[in-house]
Amino acid sequence: MYIDFTNKQYCLILHILAVMKSFYNNDFHSICKEVGKAYGVDEDSIMKACATLTAVNATAPIKKAYDNISNVLAAIANNAEELNGDDTYKYRVDLDAPCWNAVADALDVYSRILMGQFGIIYETLDISGDDKHHLQAYHDARWSGVGVIEARDLLIPQLKKMRVGWNGNFGISNSELAYNSKLSYEVLKAIRFATEKRDGSVLKVTDEPLPRVEGEWQITAL
């Protein structure tokens, strides 16, 4: 199943997959840098946030997701086709449904983290241990932001100023939301439409055209 992308969308997908590959390996450096840079945070704050997340010690690598992203990156390298003569879409990528689902899942987690939904970190990664201490740390981090909201405050100070609390975050159409979060949202919605043929509309939040999916039916913008 192929999907056509603009140059910006294609480059963003490759970039996000590299970031998320590191994330799935329980390494927070790349995702912290991504969030901090998106919101104009200095390097010291990014490093402090990364150390804070690591110190929670409630997560572990999720090998299946890591392997899936590795396989997807190899598949894209082998199957991406540059479209000559098309002024809008520059790359056609042909993957099977499981690979596309892995891409959409990675884009979804990435987009949500940039929105400030740091609880998704603990929904996605494995738990670091099954003893009482690690289970409690995981529970407190996921549901209450214990030891985590401090990292989010460092990376997204705008949310701290808004005093939204642990469960608050930017909405997808918020003007302060990082652009890459918005674009990844649009791309993942198109991918899920292509693989599932449902939810055929998406709230348009960037100026990029929506990806063009294989077949007659296309996702539409609201």
156 CB-side CA count, 13 A: 26
Above 80 in pLDDT, residue 163?
A: yes
Least confident range from 63-67, 182-186, 194-198: namely 194-198
What's the average model confidence in pLDDT over 181-197?
Answer: 94
Banded model confidence at residue 131, pLDDT cuts 50, 70, 90 = confident
Q: State residue 191's pLDDT score.
A: 96
Q: State residue 216's pLDDT score.
A: 78
pLDDT digits (tens, 9 = 90+) for 22-38: 999 999 999 999 999 99
pLDDT digits (tens, 9 = 90+) for 110-119: 999 999 999 9
